[in-house]
A and B are shown apart, each in its own frame.
Chain A
């Protein structure tokens, strides 16, 4: 199968794009074949794609890029090419993107913890708000001479008052954007969900569920009343990196830097179950070591970082596929035991030819992209030769708990090859493996920087 001839009108379109972190120059997602070319033609320094999502009607793709802090909307043309419709630069670097059910609104969460809503297709007649009032207030210092100040600050204030500088006021975004909510922490994931006929009221209610680096999961009302927090789902002891709805949105699976996945009845902010992830991850790493890289000694306790959670239905039962950073395997959690309050659920695993980066789930198959540059189960050891098999198709094995690697996308694209040679292999890890950096460095932090004397 040749990816450059990928046809979006084909019936076998993957159901959902994953939100992996992939550089555009080493692009391996089958849904955006033309974009890399466009970006490199336009910008001198490449801007890396942080996350991509596709609209429900399959006509649009929304991507967020790092260096230019932009939200880009692409139209999927009949030929499979992507056409960039708009590029909107935010104040802060976006970290997560989501589309509303009706595809009309983009939700973007950023590095500073704020979430904005933008229309998918900007209205042509939007006039940016001129912030006149701010210009006036800005021209004089905020403090006055009677403000309580240290001597040094007072000097600065006096200098400020002398120089009535015409400092440029911060302008609003030059496009329609609404600030919905904010965490005082990096927002790691944002999900939009609509519940139907909840508690028999017959009302459709939408919620925004956001996760941050400070272990919080917040449930807010939908965009029109996003300032109302319904509750928090607290219990994680490390960062939360991914959220995934299951059971028609009734339940939430969350994962991050903890050794377990958490399953929530999120509307009641009730933790239903913690499912151990460390055991399966270590078993999977161990299995990978035997076959290929016996020398690569894996430290005893490698921290676990969940980088992806995807809903997946196999023979009628709901499952979640799990990706962990720097682990050459895919994990499957069958949730039926949780719904039926039965036996404790187990996570099964399948080894892959390289570290799992991202996954796309369709009805019949799963497409995964794996890291061909780094050795299996390592975020730093570079392979001697770059593996060509970076996209694999997985088919469920008979037992429904594991997968067989069914097919590879052969890499026949010349341009890809040349691009790959230009990549500094040692730099790739900086782009691919960023989730682990969310972990807080506990213990080694002294108070020395904290305690400074005033006088």
Chain B
């Protein structure tokens, strides 16, 4: 079985991105839990400034260069600033097989989205799928590849997403500086039912401080789970931190991200099939109080 896996992956690696089809999940399955306290064999940047995130978004790097050579000021308004200057702004922590990434990519084409996943095989699947989708998009629309050379700094489809292997509970500050992110997604995290394992949950009052650090004022943390107990736990965790305010139902109504998170994530679909309940809670980052 392992042999077939390796063979499959090797042939995919040999093929050029334009020719390969989407990867098949069954060659990338991995146990659903990972020990967040172990050291693993992770590589991570020393600090955010030392992290070459441009490498992950090759299309963006090109666009960025174009803009730079045209001497465009990066400071002409928040929304006009090309993604290449703003860096990663959305983090999908525990992105799994990447359902949310692929759904968000066309919704927010000018924003760089990064999926972070601790399981190596699953990360590889998402990376493969991104590569394949980017290749297909280029093939289907040959003009898009030349578009980077024109003055419009737009990205071709799926060039604003990337996925890396990381343990965010330990190393989030190594990737994101203070107030860098506008949205953080925590979708269907490992519930860790045992009381003894609760420290391994992705949300805790102490970790909320780290999410608050990485989020800019006004940024939002999106959480969703099918486990009521975990939902309450996450609500408690963020509510305990005065830097977060829970968004009410009516505030979330128009938010496309919530809809996508409910419908497009892999786990979300599974829960749908099982007829389970999905619990959503979103929290907005408030300003630091004076002291």
Q: Which residues of A contact B (CB under 8 A)?
A: 112-114, 137-138, 141-144, 146-148, 150, 167, 170, 179, 181-185, 205, 214-216, 218, 220-221, 224-225, 227-229, 231-232, 234-235, 237, 440-442, 445-447, 450-455
Are A225 and B291 touching (Cβ within 8 A)? yes
CB distance from A225 to the nearest CB of B (A): 6
* Contact A114–B206 (Cβ < 8 Å): yes
Q: Are A453 and B1 in contact (CB under 8 A)?
A: yes
Q: A33 to B193, alpha carbons, bound, how many Å? A: 47
Q: Is the CB of B205 within 8 A of A228?
A: no
CB-CB under 8 A for A143 and B277, given A182-B206, A220-B209, A447-B41: no
Q: Is the CB of B191 within 8 A of A450?
A: no
Binds A, one of B69-77, B137-145, B223-231, B251-259: B223-231
Give the total of B residues in contact with A, Cβ under 8 Å.
55
- Are A146 and B276 in contact, CB atoms less than 8 angstroms apart? yes
CB closest chain-A residue, reference B196: A170
Residue pairs across A and B with Cβ atoms less than 8 A apart, 7 shown, are A113-B206, A137-B232, A138-B195, A150-B32, A229-B209, A232-B47, A450-B119
Dominant SS at the A interface?
Answer: loop
Q: Which residues of A contact B46 (CB under 8 A)?
A: 215, 234-235, 237
Bound-complex Cα distance A216 to B46 (A): 9
* Interchain CA distance A231-B288 in the complex, whole Å: 13
Q: Assuming A143-B227, A227-B242, A237-B46, is B170 touching A454 (CB within 8 A)? A: no
Given the complex, which residues of A lie within 8 Å of B30, measured CB to CB? 451-454
For B228, the chain A residues whose CB sits under 8 A away are 142, 144
Q: Are B209 and A227 touching (Cβ within 8 A)? A: yes
A451 near B120 (CB under 8 angstroms)?
Answer: yes
User: Nearest Cβ distance between residue B12 and chain A, in whole angstroms?
Assistant: 17
Asked if A170 contacts B195 (CB within 8 A), the reply is yes
Chain B 44-61 residues near chain A, CB threshold 8 A: 46-48
Q: How far is the CA of A408 from the CA of B150 in the complex (A)?
A: 79
A108 to chain B, nearest CB (A): 14
User: Are B31 and A234 in contact, with the CB atoms below 8 A?
Assistant: no
A142 close to B191 (CB less than 8 A):
yes
Q: Of B1, B212, B271, which one neighbours A228 at CB under 8 angstroms?
A: B212
Which of B98-106, B154-162, B171-179 participates in binding chain A? B171-179
Nearest residue in B to A454 (C-beta to C-beta)?
Answer: B29
Set of chain B residues within 8 Å of A179, measured between Cβ atoms: 205-206
Indicate which residue in B32, B36, B41, B243 contacts A445 across the interface (CB closer than 8 Å).
B41
Indicate whether B275 reaches chain A with its CB closer than 8 angstroms.
yes
Q: How far is the CA of A179 from the CA of B270 in the complex (A)?
A: 37
Q: Which residues of B contact A214 (CB under 8 A)?
A: 170-171
